[in-house]
Amino acid sequence: MSVLRGKNILLGITAGIAAYKTASLVRLFVKAGAEVKVIMTPAAKEFITPLTLSTLSKNPVYSSFIDEDDENAMWNNHVELGLWADLMVIAPATANTLSKMAQGNSDNLLVATYLSAKCPVYFAPAMDLDMYKHPSTKESFDKLREYGNIMIPAEHGELASGLIGEGRMAEPEGIVSFIENKIIEGQPLYDKTVLITAGPTYEAIDPVRFIGNHSSGKMGFAVAKAAIDLGATVLMVCGPTHESYQHDLLKMIAVTSAEDMYNAVHEHYGSVDIAIMAAAVSDFRPKQVAQNKIKKSDTALTLELEPTKDILESCGRLKKDQILVGFALETDNAIENAIQKLKKKNLDLIVLNSLQDEGAGFGTDTNKITLIDKDENISAMPLKSKLEVGTDIMNEILKHCDV
Ligand code: CTP
């Protein structure tokens, strides 16, 4: 999943031959989960049709302040478009448009929108090599960067003129990953590693049977997504689950039993910045695992169980600079029990789930939590989607912990 998911992207296209590549660029943004609106300079329509771009973006394409072909035309509001955008990308950006942007010369909708935009603005220059090197172009680049815009440098290669040099617009894939990396680098957990346990554990009775629980792993995955949105690299140690999630910043380590989870966690715990234990780890396991399937019989079967290792508690004991977060699932005296767990396991934060609350607990897409930090500050949250709860947990970690 890309950090561009859910973002509103305004793509400004100017009149350069590289405009033909913007069909792929729109497609890649949409594939990444972004909402895309396109503004073209009038001359850019000579290079790629608005129909192609509106079809790919599933939105109207804007190119003038009013649409002259439509007698009921409305004013295309550059201020509204500018405010709608989470980021604006001008690609290809010609020398002419860059100079207008640098001078604040808003004689077309694209530049007027750029001047109204409050979001980060990226520009991907595309022009012939001598234009690219010209001092006036360099001056535009410098001025635009000084204003806080982000340049996606042109590449070296064969140009439309047949000459070879610097000036080719970066390839659409390169533009997308450049923007994704910039967004991630600007996030508060960039360069941090978060270890998350999730899902149930299965404790073998014999080769076919196990002791398990109803945990779906959804809460752990929601926390992982929220951590990734904040730029973190996530190591997820996950028991058997139907949930799945793929992201460049996510490494999945699949385990089965509490012992496997314990070993996987301790392989990495020493080198992580934050550890969040959302797994529903079995507290007991059969003392003996039968080598062969236990046969049916008329007499009662007694299984002797032994405690598993408490992974969270062991992390609390070994804690150095890590921020350690645990969950507590309680049915009665919830707050007191959760505070006891927080202290006993040496945690920085505990997330209390109460099975008593409707819509909270195993298998649902919602949860109702109370957050308690090590100073015993208590914040009770309303019922929310697990994704929102994941974000609340990560925001609380950011607020309370000095990372
Ligand atoms: N936990 C763990 N290893 C275990 C048991 C629990 O890491 N063997 C972690 C869970 O992931 C959770 C926290 O400990 O973050 C609390 O789990 P919970 O089941 O609420 O509490 P327990 O400590 O198991 O105590 P009890 O079941 O008696 O309430």
The reported pLDDT for the residue numbered 263 is 98
Instruction: Report the distance separating Cα 13 and Cα 63, nearest Å.
Output: 9
pLDDT at 354: 74
Residue 100: the pLDDT is: 98
Amino acid at 49: T
**Whole-angstrom Cα distance, residue 122 to residue 89?**
5
73 pLDDT higher than 80:
no
For β-strands 150-151 and 121-125, DSSP reports them as parallel
- Structure confidence at residue 358 as a pLDDT band (50, 70, 90): confident
Domain ranges in the chain with CATH number 3.40.50.1950: 8-185
Please name which of 1, 34, 379 lies closest in space to residue 11, comparing C-alpha atoms. 34
Interval 7-13 mean pLDDT: 98
CATH of 193-288+305-400, one of 3.40.1180.10, 3.40.50.10300, 3.40.50.300, 3.40.190.10: 3.40.50.10300
Please say if the pLDDT value at position 267 is more than 80. yes
Grade residue 355 by pLDDT with cuts at 50, 70 and 90. Answer: confident
Of 197, 262, 310, best ligand 1 pocket probe by most atoms within 8 Å of the beta carbon: 310
Model pLDDT for residues 112-167, shown as the tens digit of each residue: 999 999 999 999 999 999 999 999 999 999 999 999 999 999 999 999 889 899 99
Residue 338 CA neighbour count, 13 Å, CB half: 30
Closest among 314, 317, 316, 325 to 403, alpha carbons compared: 325
Contact assessment for residue 352 and residue 335, using Cβ atoms and an 8 Å cutoff: yes
Give the pocket of ligand 1 (CB within 6 Å): 197, 258, 277, 279, 281, 283, 308, 310-312, 326-329, 341
pLDDT tier for residue 356 given thresholds of 50, 70 and 90: confident
User: Is 213 annotated in the active site?
Assistant: yes
- Confidence class for position 68, pLDDT limits 50, 70, 90: low
pLDDT confidence tier of residue 172, bands split at 50, 70 and 90: very high
375 against 75, higher pLDDT:
375
Please state the atom number of ligand 1 nearest to the C-alpha of residue 341: 23
For atom 20 of ligand 1, the residue with the nearest CA is 328
Q: Give the closest residue to 154 by CA, choosing from 248, 17, 42.
A: 17
Q: How far apart are CA 91 and CA 214, in angstroms?
A: 50
Ligand 1 mutation target, pool 311, 319, 336, 346, most atoms within 8 A of CB: 311
Report the share of the chain in percent with pLDDT over 70: 96
Give me the pLDDT at residue 98, please: 98
What's the mean pLDDT in 213-222? 95
Separation of CA 313 and ligand 1 centre (Å): 9
What predicted TM-score, i.e. pTM, was given to this entire model?
Answer: 0.79
Distance, CA 220 to ligand 1 centroid (Å)?
A: 14
Q: Return d(Cα 107, Cα 104) in angstroms, integer.
A: 9
**Among all chains, which residue has been given the structure tokens 């001056």?**
139
Nearest alpha-carbon partner for 120 in 150, 162, 91: 150
Atom 4 of ligand 1 has which residue's CA nearest to it?
310
Residue ranges matching CATH 3.40.50.10300 in the chain: 193-288+305-400
Distance of CA 279 from the midpoint of ligand 1 (Å): 8
Minimum mean pLDDT among 93-102, 177-186, 317-326: which range? 177-186
Q: How far apart are CA 197 and CA 276, in angstroms?
A: 7
Characterize the bridge pairing of strands 8-13 and 203-204: unpaired
- Is the model's pLDDT at 1 over the cut of 80? no
Q: Which CATH number fits domain 8-185: 3.30.450.40, 3.30.70.260, 3.40.50.1950, 1.10.10.920?
A: 3.40.50.1950
Atom in ligand 1 nearest the alpha carbon of residue 350: 15
User: Average model confidence (pLDDT) for the chain?
Assistant: 94
3-state secondary structure (DSSP) of residue 164: strand
Candidate of 223, 238, 317, 329 to mutate for ligand 1, largest count of ligand atoms within 8 Å of Cβ = 329
Average pLDDT over residues 292-310: 96
Q: Are 256 and 239 in contact (CB under 8 A)?
A: yes
In whole angstroms, what is the distance from residue 11 CA to residue 40 CA? 8
Q: Three-state DSSP class for 366?
A: strand
Q: Which candidate in 8, 96, 213, 263 is catalytic?
A: 213
Could you tell me if 188 and 391 are in contact, meaning their C-beta atoms sit under 8 angstroms apart? no
| Cα gap 275→197, rounded to integer Å | 8
Helices (DSSP H) in 186-268: which residue ranges? 218-229, 258-268
213-222, 230-239, 241-250: least confident range: 241-250
Confidence of residue 71 (pLDDT cuts 50, 70, 90): low
Q: Alpha helices of 212-361 — where are they, by DSSP H? A: 218-229, 258-268, 311-318, 334-344
